[in-house]
Amino acid sequence: MIYTPEGGQPIVLGGILAASMLSALLSVTDEGERREIVIDTPEGRNDFFRRYEKEMLADNGGLFTTEVQRLNEAYMELAGEEGALLRICRNDRLLDLALGLMVEYMERLVREQVEEQIYMAVPWTGPFAQWLFNAGYAETRRQHLLTINWTNAAEVYALAEEINEPKGTEDENQEPTFVFEGLSAEQVLNGYWKWLWETAQKDANQYPDAKVRLAEYKQLILDNEMDYDFLKPEMKDFTPEQLNLFRSWMGKWKEYVEQKIEPPVSTRKKDLRQELIPDNISPIPPEHNYVKVREYIIERCKYDQEFKKYFEVHKMTDFCDQLTLLFGWFVEPNHLGKRMKKKSKK
């Protein structure tokens, strides 16, 4: 797009800004209808973006770095021409449409760069401390890109300068961010644990003694997942706030893992011996699903007389201690007792 201000030199605009302005102007004309330019619906804008990238393929268009540079060049061309964009678009509504289209496209490119969630940008890897360390640095860059104001020429210029720096130097003075955009701490811990436990189960299931292997993996998780001494040399430049936040994450993770793998301290009695053993008939109930636990008890009592006798002669707390050892997750006596009584009345 070439714009010549009255009495001035021609201004050459390129990239998504020029394409968006031209499309906004054409969208209200017969020419726009013939070209099937529709940019006031999500589907129409998606089609516009696809057409733009296809037509700009020969010029390397559609790449994040290319589009940042082109947008920066357009802003530099417009420097000193206050109000030029409004004069080109003729009115506020068309300008708003054009800028909105440009911003939406740049934000799409950012999402391609940083992914929707941090665990997509930085895939889970063990131990948790190492993933947290790596993700913290990636999140700083991620949040920076997510908050760029694409209508602000100064911010676009600064980003273009960063991109032009020699590879790797833009991260030299970067500090970690341990609060992740769009995710709560609970979601992070749940997501990592799901990956960790599924990986352990997959490995264990390759062996005929899968249950024994899985029990060994539990101990390995307890031994390895809490340690982050190996990172301390790399954490020496952390600010007190960053260090405290990292330690807070690790403390929360330790508590989370222990609740997943070990029953609460109050249930771990000294010299507690496992008297109920698993069989090949009744599957272990899902964690905290007391409906399934009740079904497990009823079914096993039908064919396992020793199990039935233990259930009938022991207190609920002692029986739940055994179920905890049997299932590998804490069985809460009050929850199970209420479930057994409730169903019995029916």
Model pLDDT for residues 145-200, shown as the tens digit of each residue: 999 999 999 999 999 999 988 765 555 568 999 999 999 999 999 999 999 999 99
Q: Which residues of 6-27 are buried (b: 16+ CB within 10 A; e: fewer)?
A: eeeeebebbbbbbbbbbbbbbb
How far apart are the C-alpha atoms of 85 and 101, rounded to whole Å? 14
Q: How do residues 62-82 score in pLDDT, each as one tens digit?
A: 999 999 999 999 999 998 888
pLDDT of 345 over the 80 cut: no
Query: What ranges do the domains of the chain cover?
Result: 2-114, 117-148+175-262, 290-345
Please compute the mean of the pLDDT values over residues 251-272 and round it to a whole number.
72
How far apart are the C-alpha atoms of 133 and 228, rounded to whole Å? 10
pLDDT of 140 over the 70 cut: yes
Q: How do residues 87-115 score in pLDDT, each as one tens digit?
A: 999 899 999 999 999 999 999 999 999 99
Decide: residue 258, CB within 10 A, 0-12 exposed, 13-18 middle, 19+ buried: middle
Decide: residue 103, CB within 10 A, 0-12 exposed, 13-18 middle, 19+ buried: middle
Res 75: pLDDT: 94
Q: How many C-beta atoms surround the C-beta of residue 298 within 10 A?
A: 14
* Locus of tokens 């771990």: 268
Q: Where are the alpha helices (DSSP H) in 165-239?
A: 185-204, 210-224
* Selection from 232, 337, 335 nearest residue 289 by Cα: 335
Q: Where are the alpha helices (DSSP H) in 165-304?
A: 185-204, 210-224, 240-261, 290-303
Q: How confident is the model at residue 252 (pLDDT cuts 50, 70, 90)?
A: very high
How far apart are the C-alpha atoms of 128 and 157, rounded to whole Å? 37
**Percent of the chain clearing pLDDT 90 (strictly above):** 59
Decide which of 159 and 215 is more confident. Answer: 159
* Selection from 176, 186, 191 nearest residue 246 by Cα: 176
